[in-house]
Amino acid sequence: MAEVLPLVEARLTTTLGEPDARAAVTFLGTDRIEVLRFHEDLQGENVVRYATLGMSAHPMTDPTAMVADPVKGPRAELVLSVRAGLAETDKVLRALAVLAASPQVEGLVVAPGTSLDVGDPLWPGAPFSSVLVGEPGGLVEDLELDEPLDPVRFLPLLPMTPNEAAWKRVHGAGALQERWLANGTDLRDPHRKSAPLD
């Protein structure tokens, strides 16, 4: 089903413009995952977006299923947005590739509200080692595929501090996002502190 990927890349470039860099990572026993980098000027604020390409080549399969369906099942790619030039965020490429390969490697179904932890800072000096998977459709619209294939959803990744990740485990993803909103948390700040959680 590799023919899905050119359509995915076309949707990304139509929405975000031409990528100014790309890198590929291959893990043992998995397909190649690429990470594309896009720069965008939002009202004078330079934002860099990293999008995976390769995760959606196969549907994600419920790890409890006896047999993996090669056609049916959710498909997704991951998108991370951060303010540019404030940290070595390009080093996030490997972490993103690890997360994008997790459905193939671990049988994980990545869905909104899920926490994903890479075990190390997302980039050098980052106060985050985990992300919250956000709701799709806000930045890049879902890509409809021919039946019987499920659409490709572009899932935003929201970096979480360790405190926020622990709080989310107790209170849920919705409650954490409400805290971020109530406190005006800049989720694109690569150095931000934990939101107040009292």
CA distance 72 to 118: 28
pTM (whole model) above 0.95: no
The 10 Å Cβ neighbour count of residue 93 is 22
Name the DSSP class of 80: E
Give the pLDDT score at 45.
82
Residue 125 Cα to chain centre, angstroms: 20
pLDDT tens for the 198 residues of the chain, in order: 458 999 999 999 999 999 999 999 888 777 889 999 999 887 778 999 999 999 999 899 876 666 666 678 899 999 999 999 888 999 999 999 999 999 988 888 999 999 999 999 999 999 999 999 999 988 999 999 988 889 999 999 999 999 999 999 999 999 999 999 999 999 999 999 999 987
DSSP, residue by residue, 12-57: HHHHH---SEEEEE--TTS--EEEEEEEEEETTEEEEEEEEESGGG
Closest CA to 75 of 171, 144, 139: 144
Give the pLDDT score at 197.
84
Closest CA to 36 of 60, 57, 59, 10: 10
* Torsion sign, CA atoms 8, 12, 15, 17: negative
CA distance 88 to 125: 8
* Torsion sign, CA atoms 112, 117, 118, 123: positive
Total length of the chain:
198
CA distance 171 to 188: 23
Token pair for 95: 């972490």
Give the pLDDT score at 1.
46
Residue 76 Cα to chain centre, angstroms: 9
Residue 180: its H or E element: helix 173-182
CA distance 193 to 112: 23
* Cross-strand pairs, 33: 25
Token pair for 5: 């990927």
